Protein backbone atom coordinates (compact mmCIF):
# COMPACT_ATOMS: atom_id res chain seq x y z
CA UNK A 1 0.00 0.00 0.00
CA UNK A 2 1.33 3.39 -1.00
CA UNK A 3 0.43 6.85 0.23
CA UNK A 4 -0.24 9.29 -2.58
CA UNK A 5 -1.06 12.99 -2.54
CA UNK A 6 -4.73 13.93 -2.73
CA UNK A 7 -3.82 16.76 -5.11
CA UNK A 8 -5.94 19.24 -3.15
CA UNK A 9 -4.41 22.23 -1.39
CA UNK A 10 -4.52 21.72 2.37
CA UNK A 11 -6.17 18.28 2.34
CA UNK A 12 -3.00 16.20 2.74
CA UNK A 13 -2.35 18.00 6.03
CA UNK A 14 -5.66 16.77 7.45
CA UNK A 15 -5.27 13.18 6.31
CA UNK A 16 -1.66 13.05 7.46
CA UNK A 17 -0.01 12.75 4.06
CA UNK A 18 -2.55 11.75 1.43
CA UNK A 19 -4.75 8.85 0.29
CA UNK A 20 -3.72 5.22 0.39
CA UNK A 21 -3.52 3.32 -2.88
CA UNK A 22 -5.31 1.00 -3.42
CA UNK A 23 -8.41 2.24 -1.60
CA UNK A 24 -11.91 3.43 -2.36
CA UNK A 25 -12.86 6.91 -1.13
CA UNK A 26 -16.33 8.37 -1.31
CA UNK A 27 -16.66 12.13 -1.83
CA UNK A 28 -20.23 12.78 -0.76
CA UNK A 29 -22.39 15.87 -0.63
CA UNK A 30 -25.51 17.42 -2.03
CA UNK A 31 -25.77 19.24 -5.38
CA UNK A 32 -23.16 21.88 -6.11
CA UNK A 33 -20.94 21.17 -3.10
CA UNK A 34 -17.89 20.72 -5.34
CA UNK A 35 -17.66 16.94 -5.82
CA UNK A 36 -16.75 17.09 -9.51
CA UNK A 37 -14.21 19.86 -8.89
CA UNK A 38 -12.67 17.82 -6.06
CA UNK A 39 -12.11 14.66 -8.10
CA UNK A 40 -11.04 16.43 -11.29
CA UNK A 41 -8.46 18.44 -9.36
CA UNK A 42 -7.18 15.24 -7.78
CA UNK A 43 -6.87 13.57 -11.21
CA UNK A 44 -5.19 16.48 -12.98
CA UNK A 45 -2.68 17.05 -10.20
CA UNK A 46 -1.87 13.33 -9.99
CA UNK A 47 -1.46 13.25 -13.77
CA UNK A 48 1.10 16.03 -13.49
CA UNK A 49 3.07 13.57 -11.31
CA UNK A 50 2.93 11.01 -14.11
CA UNK A 51 0.01 9.02 -12.69
CA UNK A 52 -2.40 7.61 -15.26
CA UNK A 53 -5.90 8.79 -14.40
CA UNK A 54 -9.34 7.88 -15.59
CA UNK A 55 -12.54 9.89 -15.21
CA UNK A 56 -15.71 7.85 -15.56
CA UNK A 57 -19.02 9.61 -15.79
CA UNK A 58 -22.52 8.47 -16.37
CA UNK A 59 -24.07 11.86 -16.40
CA UNK A 60 -26.60 12.70 -19.01
CA UNK A 61 -24.68 15.91 -19.72
CA UNK A 62 -22.02 15.36 -22.33
CA UNK A 63 -18.41 15.09 -21.28
CA UNK A 64 -17.58 18.13 -23.40
CA UNK A 65 -19.63 20.24 -21.01
CA UNK A 66 -17.80 18.99 -17.92
CA UNK A 67 -14.52 19.50 -19.73
CA UNK A 68 -15.49 23.03 -20.63
CA UNK A 69 -16.44 23.78 -17.03
CA UNK A 70 -13.19 22.30 -15.69
CA UNK A 71 -11.08 24.21 -18.21
CA UNK A 72 -11.78 27.38 -16.17
CA UNK A 73 -9.66 26.02 -13.31
CA UNK A 74 -5.91 26.50 -13.14
CA UNK A 75 -5.29 22.79 -12.45
CA UNK A 76 -6.79 21.90 -15.83
CA UNK A 77 -4.18 21.08 -18.42
CA UNK A 78 -5.23 20.07 -21.88
CA UNK A 79 -1.86 18.57 -22.69
CA UNK A 80 -2.41 15.93 -19.99
CA UNK A 81 -5.53 14.86 -21.86
CA UNK A 82 -3.60 14.77 -25.11
CA UNK A 83 -0.79 12.80 -23.51
CA UNK A 84 -3.28 10.26 -22.22
CA UNK A 85 -2.51 10.82 -18.52
CA UNK A 86 -6.13 11.83 -18.02
CA UNK A 87 -8.68 9.77 -19.90
CA UNK A 88 -12.40 10.47 -19.97
CA UNK A 89 -14.64 7.42 -20.10
CA UNK A 90 -18.35 8.10 -20.54
CA UNK A 91 -20.69 5.21 -19.76
CA UNK A 92 -23.54 5.00 -22.20
CA UNK A 93 -27.10 5.10 -20.92
CA UNK A 94 -27.87 1.80 -22.74
CA UNK A 95 -25.21 0.06 -20.67
CA UNK A 96 -26.64 1.55 -17.46
CA UNK A 97 -30.06 0.17 -18.39
CA UNK A 98 -28.57 -3.31 -18.82
CA UNK A 99 -27.66 -3.37 -15.11
CA UNK A 100 -24.71 -3.94 -12.82
CA UNK A 101 -22.94 -6.73 -14.73
CA UNK A 102 -22.86 -4.70 -17.93
CA UNK A 103 -21.70 -1.55 -16.12
CA UNK A 104 -18.88 -3.33 -14.29
CA UNK A 105 -17.82 -5.14 -17.49
CA UNK A 106 -17.65 -1.88 -19.42
CA UNK A 107 -15.61 -0.16 -16.69
CA UNK A 108 -13.23 -3.11 -16.42
CA UNK A 109 -12.77 -3.24 -20.20
CA UNK A 110 -11.52 0.36 -20.00
CA UNK A 111 -9.36 -0.31 -16.94
CA UNK A 112 -7.63 -3.16 -18.75
CA UNK A 113 -6.65 -0.97 -21.65
CA UNK A 114 -5.85 2.24 -19.69
CA UNK A 115 -4.33 0.66 -16.55
CA UNK A 116 -5.07 3.70 -14.36
CA UNK A 117 -3.40 4.53 -11.03
CA UNK A 118 -6.30 6.76 -10.05
CA UNK A 119 -9.95 6.51 -11.06
CA UNK A 120 -12.87 8.87 -10.44
CA UNK A 121 -16.47 7.75 -10.89
CA UNK A 122 -18.72 10.78 -10.95
CA UNK A 123 -21.39 10.30 -9.65
CA UNK A 124 -21.68 6.71 -8.55
CA UNK A 125 -25.38 6.90 -7.58
CA UNK A 126 -26.47 7.17 -11.18
CA UNK A 127 -25.62 3.49 -11.65
CA UNK A 128 -27.92 2.49 -8.82
CA UNK A 129 -30.71 4.85 -9.86
CA UNK A 130 -34.20 3.36 -9.83
CA UNK A 131 -33.10 0.22 -7.98
CA UNK A 132 -35.02 -0.56 -4.80
CA UNK A 133 -33.27 -0.85 -1.43
CA UNK A 134 -32.16 -4.51 -1.72
CA UNK A 135 -31.17 -4.30 -5.36
CA UNK A 136 -29.21 -1.14 -4.64
CA UNK A 137 -27.36 -2.81 -1.78
CA UNK A 138 -26.59 -5.81 -4.01
CA UNK A 139 -25.31 -3.50 -6.74
CA UNK A 140 -22.96 -1.71 -4.36
CA UNK A 141 -21.66 -5.03 -2.98
CA UNK A 142 -20.90 -6.34 -6.48
CA UNK A 143 -19.44 -3.06 -7.56
CA UNK A 144 -17.30 -2.78 -4.49
CA UNK A 145 -16.02 -6.37 -4.83
CA UNK A 146 -14.78 -5.60 -8.34
CA UNK A 147 -13.27 -2.25 -7.32
CA UNK A 148 -11.08 -4.08 -4.80
CA UNK A 149 -9.48 -5.89 -7.74
CA UNK A 150 -8.61 -2.74 -9.66
CA UNK A 151 -5.55 -2.00 -7.54
CA UNK A 152 -6.08 1.76 -7.94
CA UNK A 153 -7.10 4.71 -5.87
CA UNK A 154 -10.81 4.98 -6.64
CA UNK A 155 -12.60 8.25 -5.89
CA UNK A 156 -16.37 7.91 -6.01
CA UNK A 157 -18.61 10.93 -5.87
CA UNK A 158 -22.08 10.50 -4.46
CA UNK A 159 -25.03 12.80 -4.13
CA UNK A 160 -26.11 12.18 -0.56
CA UNK A 161 -27.51 14.14 2.32
CA UNK A 162 -25.84 13.20 5.61
CA UNK A 163 -28.91 11.13 6.60
CA UNK A 164 -28.96 9.21 3.30
CA UNK A 165 -25.25 8.57 3.60
CA UNK A 166 -25.58 6.86 6.99
CA UNK A 167 -28.27 4.56 5.57
CA UNK A 168 -26.41 3.71 2.37
CA UNK A 169 -24.55 0.42 1.99
CA UNK A 170 -21.77 2.40 0.31
CA UNK A 171 -20.83 4.17 3.52
CA UNK A 172 -19.63 1.03 5.27
CA UNK A 173 -18.12 -0.56 2.19
CA UNK A 174 -15.79 2.27 1.24
CA UNK A 175 -12.42 2.84 2.96
CA UNK A 176 -12.87 6.56 3.37
CA UNK A 177 -15.63 9.15 3.34
CA UNK A 178 -15.23 12.89 2.84
CA UNK A 179 -18.41 14.89 3.22
CA UNK A 180 -18.70 18.25 1.50
CA UNK A 181 -21.27 20.84 2.49
CA UNK A 182 -22.22 24.30 1.53
CA UNK A 183 -24.11 26.78 3.68
CA UNK A 184 -25.37 30.14 2.49
CA UNK A 185 -24.09 33.05 4.57
CA UNK A 186 -25.30 36.51 3.51
CA UNK A 187 -24.27 36.81 -0.12
CA UNK A 188 -21.60 34.11 0.16
CA UNK A 189 -21.49 30.36 0.39
CA UNK A 190 -19.48 28.90 3.20
CA UNK A 191 -18.08 25.51 2.31
CA UNK A 192 -17.04 22.80 4.72
CA UNK A 193 -15.23 19.52 4.43
CA UNK A 194 -15.59 16.76 6.97
CA UNK A 195 -13.60 13.52 7.03
CA UNK A 196 -16.05 10.94 8.32
CA UNK A 197 -13.71 7.97 8.05
CA UNK A 198 -10.34 7.08 6.56
CA UNK A 199 -9.36 3.47 7.21
CA UNK A 200 -5.79 2.72 8.18
CA UNK A 201 -4.66 6.28 8.73
CA UNK A 202 -4.84 9.14 11.16
CA UNK A 203 -6.95 12.12 10.24
CA UNK A 204 -8.20 15.33 11.76
CA UNK A 205 -11.96 15.02 12.24
CA UNK A 206 -14.49 17.82 12.52
CA UNK A 207 -15.50 20.51 10.08
CA UNK A 208 -12.76 22.20 8.10
CA UNK A 209 -13.48 25.37 6.17
CA UNK A 210 -12.80 25.22 2.49
CA UNK A 211 -13.42 27.23 -0.61
CA UNK A 212 -13.55 26.96 -4.38
CA UNK A 213 -11.52 29.47 -6.36
CA UNK A 214 -10.07 29.46 -9.86
CA UNK A 215 -7.34 27.23 -8.37
CA UNK A 216 -9.99 24.68 -7.42
CA UNK A 217 -10.66 23.30 -4.00
CA UNK A 218 -8.75 24.84 -1.13
CA UNK A 219 -8.99 23.27 2.31
CA UNK A 220 -8.12 25.32 5.39
CA UNK A 221 -7.03 22.85 8.06
CA UNK A 222 -7.71 23.71 11.67
CA UNK A 223 -4.61 23.96 13.80
CA UNK A 224 -4.05 20.80 15.69
CA UNK A 225 -1.27 20.17 18.13
CA UNK A 226 -1.10 18.04 21.25
CA UNK A 227 -1.49 19.85 24.56
CA UNK A 228 1.61 21.21 26.26
CA UNK A 229 3.38 18.84 28.58
CA UNK A 230 5.15 21.52 30.57
CA UNK A 231 4.59 25.18 31.29
CA UNK A 232 7.47 27.62 31.29
CA UNK A 233 7.91 29.49 34.53
CA UNK A 234 9.44 32.45 32.71
CA UNK A 235 7.84 35.89 32.85
CA UNK A 236 7.63 38.25 29.89
CA UNK A 237 7.55 41.96 30.51
CA UNK A 238 4.29 43.64 29.58
CA UNK A 239 6.29 46.67 28.43
CA UNK A 240 4.51 48.73 31.08
CA UNK A 241 6.44 49.30 34.29
CA UNK A 242 3.46 49.55 36.63
CA UNK A 243 1.79 46.53 35.09
CA UNK A 244 4.95 44.45 35.44
CA UNK A 245 4.97 45.29 39.13
CA UNK A 246 1.28 44.49 39.54
CA UNK A 247 1.64 41.15 37.79
CA UNK A 248 4.77 40.12 39.65
CA UNK A 249 7.07 40.42 36.67
CA UNK A 250 4.84 40.40 33.60
CA UNK A 251 2.77 37.84 31.72
CA UNK A 252 3.62 34.14 31.87
CA UNK A 253 5.59 33.14 28.78
CA UNK A 254 3.27 31.19 26.44
CA UNK A 255 0.06 32.34 28.09
CA UNK A 256 -3.05 33.82 26.52
CA UNK A 257 -4.00 37.18 27.99
CA UNK A 258 -7.35 38.83 27.41
CA UNK A 259 -7.50 42.62 27.69
CA UNK A 260 -11.07 43.68 27.86
CA UNK A 261 -12.59 47.11 28.11
CA UNK A 262 -14.88 49.59 26.45
CA UNK A 263 -13.98 51.66 23.45
CA UNK A 264 -11.06 54.04 23.86
CA UNK A 265 -9.71 52.54 27.08
CA UNK A 266 -6.31 51.81 25.56
CA UNK A 267 -6.49 48.10 24.77
CA UNK A 268 -4.67 48.46 21.44
CA UNK A 269 -1.98 50.61 23.07
CA UNK A 270 -1.35 48.05 25.83
CA UNK A 271 -1.14 45.30 23.21
CA UNK A 272 1.15 47.25 20.87
CA UNK A 273 3.37 48.28 23.78
CA UNK A 274 3.83 44.60 24.57
CA UNK A 275 4.83 43.88 20.97
CA UNK A 276 7.21 46.86 20.87
CA UNK A 277 8.81 45.77 24.16
CA UNK A 278 9.50 42.41 22.52
CA UNK A 279 11.01 44.00 19.42
CA UNK A 280 13.40 46.04 21.58
CA UNK A 281 14.49 42.76 23.18
CA UNK A 282 14.88 41.07 19.75
CA UNK A 283 11.71 39.01 20.17
CA UNK A 284 9.82 39.06 16.85
CA UNK A 285 6.09 39.72 16.92
CA UNK A 286 2.88 39.61 14.91
CA UNK A 287 -0.09 41.97 15.06
CA UNK A 288 -3.38 40.72 13.66
CA UNK A 289 -5.98 43.44 13.71
CA UNK A 290 -9.70 43.01 13.25
CA UNK A 291 -10.22 46.73 13.62
CA UNK A 292 -7.58 48.77 11.85
CA UNK A 293 -5.64 48.69 8.63
CA UNK A 294 -1.83 48.26 8.90
CA UNK A 295 -1.33 51.84 7.72
CA UNK A 296 -3.46 53.14 10.57
CA UNK A 297 -1.62 50.98 13.12
CA UNK A 298 1.74 52.31 11.91
CA UNK A 299 0.52 55.92 12.05
CA UNK A 300 -1.00 55.55 15.53
CA UNK A 301 2.20 53.97 16.83
CA UNK A 302 4.29 56.89 15.57
CA UNK A 303 2.48 59.10 18.07
CA UNK A 304 4.12 57.07 20.83
CA UNK A 305 7.48 57.23 19.09
CA UNK A 306 7.33 53.62 17.89
CA UNK A 307 8.54 53.17 14.36
CA UNK A 308 7.01 49.86 13.37
CA UNK A 309 8.12 50.06 9.70
CA UNK A 310 11.69 49.68 10.84
CA UNK A 311 10.95 46.29 12.41
CA UNK A 312 8.75 45.22 9.50
CA UNK A 313 11.67 45.90 7.15
CA UNK A 314 13.92 43.81 9.38
CA UNK A 315 11.30 41.01 9.11
CA UNK A 316 10.89 40.99 12.89
CA UNK A 317 7.31 42.21 12.76
CA UNK A 318 4.33 41.43 10.59
CA UNK A 319 1.12 43.43 10.70
CA UNK A 320 -1.95 41.87 9.16
CA UNK A 321 -5.46 43.21 9.02
CA UNK A 322 -8.56 41.05 8.80
CA UNK A 323 -9.62 43.01 5.73
CA UNK A 324 -6.80 41.43 3.79
CA UNK A 325 -7.44 37.73 4.22
CA UNK A 326 -10.09 35.06 3.99
CA UNK A 327 -11.37 34.69 7.52
CA UNK A 328 -11.62 30.93 7.09
CA UNK A 329 -7.91 30.74 6.67
CA UNK A 330 -7.14 32.56 9.91
CA UNK A 331 -5.64 29.42 11.43
CA UNK A 332 -3.43 28.80 8.38
CA UNK A 333 -2.38 32.43 8.30
CA UNK A 334 -1.41 32.47 11.98
CA UNK A 335 0.68 29.34 11.55
CA UNK A 336 2.42 30.62 8.43
CA UNK A 337 3.11 34.11 9.82
CA UNK A 338 4.55 33.05 13.15
CA UNK A 339 6.83 30.62 11.33
CA UNK A 340 7.89 33.32 8.89
CA UNK A 341 8.97 35.88 11.52
CA UNK A 342 9.77 33.32 14.24
CA UNK A 343 7.33 35.19 16.47
CA UNK A 344 7.51 35.06 20.24
CA UNK A 345 4.69 37.53 20.84
CA UNK A 346 1.36 38.05 19.16
CA UNK A 347 -1.40 40.61 19.40
CA UNK A 348 -4.94 39.84 18.22
CA UNK A 349 -6.62 43.21 18.30
CA UNK A 350 -10.43 43.31 18.48
CA UNK A 351 -11.29 39.61 18.51
CA UNK A 352 -14.97 40.36 19.20
CA UNK A 353 -15.25 41.60 15.60
CA UNK A 354 -14.45 38.10 14.46
CA UNK A 355 -17.90 36.96 15.53
CA UNK A 356 -19.50 39.18 12.89
CA UNK A 357 -17.37 37.52 10.23
CA UNK A 358 -18.37 34.00 11.21
CA UNK A 359 -21.67 32.22 10.60
CA UNK A 360 -23.95 32.35 13.64
CA UNK A 361 -23.78 28.63 14.27
CA UNK A 362 -20.02 28.87 14.73
CA UNK A 363 -19.36 30.40 18.14
CA UNK A 364 -16.20 32.46 18.40
CA UNK A 365 -15.03 30.50 21.46
CA UNK A 366 -14.96 27.22 19.50
CA UNK A 367 -13.34 28.93 16.55
CA UNK A 368 -10.56 30.48 18.62
CA UNK A 369 -9.91 27.48 20.86
CA UNK A 370 -7.57 25.75 18.42
CA UNK A 371 -5.67 28.94 17.69
CA UNK A 372 -5.22 29.79 21.38
CA UNK A 373 -4.02 26.25 22.17
CA UNK A 374 -1.72 26.20 19.19
CA UNK A 375 -0.01 29.40 20.29
CA UNK A 376 0.31 28.21 23.88
CA UNK A 377 1.85 25.04 22.59
CA UNK A 378 4.48 27.04 20.72
CA UNK A 379 5.17 29.12 23.86
CA UNK A 380 4.06 32.26 22.10
CA UNK A 381 2.65 34.86 24.47
CA UNK A 382 -0.53 36.24 22.97
CA UNK A 383 -2.67 39.21 23.88
CA UNK A 384 -6.28 39.22 22.77
CA UNK A 385 -8.14 42.50 23.04
CA UNK A 386 -11.86 42.53 23.26
CA UNK A 387 -14.18 45.50 23.24
CA UNK A 388 -17.03 45.39 25.73
CA UNK A 389 -19.94 47.82 25.93
CA UNK A 390 -18.99 48.91 29.45
CA UNK A 391 -16.07 48.37 31.75
CA UNK A 392 -17.69 45.57 33.70
CA UNK A 393 -19.17 43.94 30.58
CA UNK A 394 -18.72 40.24 29.84
CA UNK A 395 -15.39 39.13 28.51
N1 LIG B 1 -13.75 30.01 -10.03
C2 LIG B 1 -14.65 29.70 -9.11
N3 LIG B 1 -14.70 30.40 -7.97
C4 LIG B 1 -15.58 30.08 -7.00
N5 LIG B 1 -16.49 29.09 -7.08
C6 LIG B 1 -16.49 28.36 -8.20
C7 LIG B 1 -15.58 28.61 -9.27
N8 LIG B 1 -15.80 27.71 -10.23
C9 LIG B 1 -16.82 26.94 -9.77
N10 LIG B 1 -17.24 27.32 -8.57
C11 LIG B 1 -18.31 26.74 -7.76
O12 LIG B 1 -18.12 25.33 -7.70
C13 LIG B 1 -19.37 24.72 -7.52
C14 LIG B 1 -19.56 23.57 -8.50
O15 LIG B 1 -18.87 22.54 -8.08
P16 LIG B 1 -19.09 21.10 -8.71
O17 LIG B 1 -19.72 21.11 -10.03
O18 LIG B 1 -17.78 20.43 -8.54
O19 LIG B 1 -20.16 20.52 -7.66
P20 LIG B 1 -20.83 19.09 -7.65
O21 LIG B 1 -20.94 18.73 -6.22
O22 LIG B 1 -20.11 18.18 -8.55
O23 LIG B 1 -22.24 19.45 -8.23
P24 LIG B 1 -23.34 18.49 -8.90
O25 LIG B 1 -24.16 18.02 -7.79
O26 LIG B 1 -24.05 19.44 -9.79
O27 LIG B 1 -22.60 17.43 -9.62
C28 LIG B 1 -20.42 25.72 -7.85
O29 LIG B 1 -21.12 26.01 -6.65
C30 LIG B 1 -19.66 26.90 -8.37
O31 LIG B 1 -20.27 28.06 -7.95
MG1 LIG C 1 -20.77 17.04 -10.23
CATH number of the domain to which 38 belongs: 3.40.50.300
Q: Is 31 in the pocket of ligand 1 (CB under 6 A)?
A: yes
Same domain, 51 and 186: yes
Same domain, 28 and 137: yes
Which atom from ligand 1 is nearest to the alpha carbon of 189?
29
Same domain, 179 and 316: no
Same domain, 173 and 215: yes
Same domain, 204 and 243: no
Domain-located, residue 104:
yes
Domain-located, residue 134:
yes
Domain-located, residue 228:
no
Using pLDDT thresholds of 50, 70 and 90, give the confidence band for residue 184: confident
Same domain, 191 and 338: no
d(CA 175, CA 26): 8
- pLDDT per residue as tens digits for the range 95-126: 998 988 999 999 999 999 999 999 999 999 88
From the CA of 37, how far away is ligand 1's center (Å)? 6
Q: Does 59 score more than 80 pLDDT?
A: no
Looking at the structure of the chain, the number of domains it has is 2
From the CA of 32, how far away is ligand 1's center (Å)? 5
Domain-located, residue 230:
no
- pLDDT per residue as tens digits for the range 158-183: 999 999 998 888 999 999 999 999 88
Domain that holds residue 374: 235-387
Q: Is 9 in the pocket of ligand 1 (CB under 6 A)?
A: no
Q: Is 191 in the pocket of ligand 1 (CB under 6 A)?
A: no
Q: Which residues surround ligand 2, an ion (CB under 5 A)?
A: 35-36
Q: Is 61 in the pocket of ligand 1 (CB under 6 A)?
A: no
Asked if 23 contacts 55 with a C-beta cutoff of 8 angstroms, the reply is: no
Percent of the chain with pLDDT over 90: 62
Segments of 280-360 assigned E as strands:
285-289, 317-321, 345-349
Q: Is 108 in the pocket of ligand 1 (CB under 6 A)?
A: no
Same domain, 240 and 216: no
pLDDT of 153: 98
From the CA of 92, how far away is ligand 2's center (Å)? 17
pLDDT of 381: 96
Asked if 346 contacts 338 with a C-beta cutoff of 8 angstroms, the reply is: yes
Q: Is 42 in the pocket of ligand 1 (CB under 6 A)?
A: no
Of 157, 192, 220, which residue constitutes the final position of a domain? 220
From the CA of 30, how far away is ligand 2's center (Å)? 9
- pLDDT per residue as tens digits for the range 251-262: 999 999 999 988
Domain-located, residue 20:
yes
From the CA of 350, how far away is ligand 2's center (Å)? 40
Which atom from ligand 1 is nearest to the alpha carbon of 38?
18
Same domain, 142 and 244: no
Q: Is 158 in the pocket of ligand 1 (CB under 6 A)?
A: no
Q: Is 29 in the pocket of ligand 1 (CB under 6 A)?
A: yes
Same domain, 208 and 246: no
- pLDDT per residue as tens digits for the range 121-149: 999 988 888 888 899 999 999 999 999 89
Query: Which residue puts its alpha carbon closest to atom 16 of ligand 1?
Result: 34
Same domain, 92 and 204: yes
Q: Is 125 in the pocket of ligand 1 (CB under 6 A)?
A: no
Domain-located, residue 356:
yes
Domain-located, residue 395:
no
In eight-state DSSP terms, residue 9 is B
Q: Is 184 in the pocket of ligand 1 (CB under 6 A)?
A: no
Torsion-angle region of 87 (φ positive above 0: left; ψ -120 to 50: alpha; else: beta): beta
In the three-class reduction of DSSP (H, G, I as helix; E, B as strand; rest coil), residue 273 is classed as helix
Q: Does 357 score more than 70 pLDDT?
A: yes
Domain-located, residue 21:
yes
Same domain, 33 and 172: yes
Q: Which of 28, 31, 32 to mutate to test the pocket of ligand 1 (most atoms within 8 A of CB)?
A: 32
Residues 6+ apart with CB under 8 A from 87: 52, 53, 54, 55, 81, 110, 114, 116
Amino acid sequence: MKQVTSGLNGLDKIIEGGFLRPSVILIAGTAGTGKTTFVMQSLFNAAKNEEVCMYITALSEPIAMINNFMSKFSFYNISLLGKGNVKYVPIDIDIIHKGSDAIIKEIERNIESIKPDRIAIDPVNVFAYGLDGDAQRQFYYDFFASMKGWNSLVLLTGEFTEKELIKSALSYLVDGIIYLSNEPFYENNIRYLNIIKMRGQEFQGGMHSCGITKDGFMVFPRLHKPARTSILKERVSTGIKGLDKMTGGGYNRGSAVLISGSSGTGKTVIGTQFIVDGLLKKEPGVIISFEEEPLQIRENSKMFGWNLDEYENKKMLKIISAFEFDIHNLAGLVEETIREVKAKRLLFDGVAKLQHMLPQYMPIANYMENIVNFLKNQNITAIYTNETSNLTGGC
